[in-house]
Structure 1
Amino acid sequence: MSKYSYDLKLEIIRRYEEGFGAIILSKEFNISHDTINNWIMAYNLYGEVGLKKSLSKTRYSGEFKLSVLKYRINNETSG
């Protein structure tokens, strides 16, 4: 089971879309801003499905990993 529920992740994403920054949300929900940034990235790449925990160990292609790095650079997020 995931440490954080899907509903909580979705609520945080919605608040982020309303203009609240990851650091503010981090303090409000007592969750690392890096974790929140990862959720935002997953949501932007895959939509709501990206917030659900996979039951299997997913292997990512080099192309996908490169797209994540480019996203982080373009959006000035850290990992």
Structure 2
Amino acid sequence: MTVLVSGCSDENSKVRGQFIAGCIQGGAPKAICACTFEKLEASYSPAELKAFNKPYTAPPEVFLKSMMAAARACVAEQ
């Protein structure tokens, strides 16, 4: 069981790192990017976040709207 949990955690860490790197590359501060991902984690499973992070594939519009709302909330909290 520990291996399974560890594997899921590692995969989620990878997705988190990729999300934050892409967000920073888009021009947002690291703190806002990390906050945005944390808010998305509250609404989406690790499997969903991984699926939305596929290269060369646009995420669903509902996810993009959630991401923008999360980012706006993070900016307002600063």
TM-score range for the pair, normalised by the shorter chain length: 0.3 to 0.5
Name the structure with the higher helix share.
2
TM-score (norm: length of structure 2): 0.35
TM-score (norm: length of structure 1): 0.35
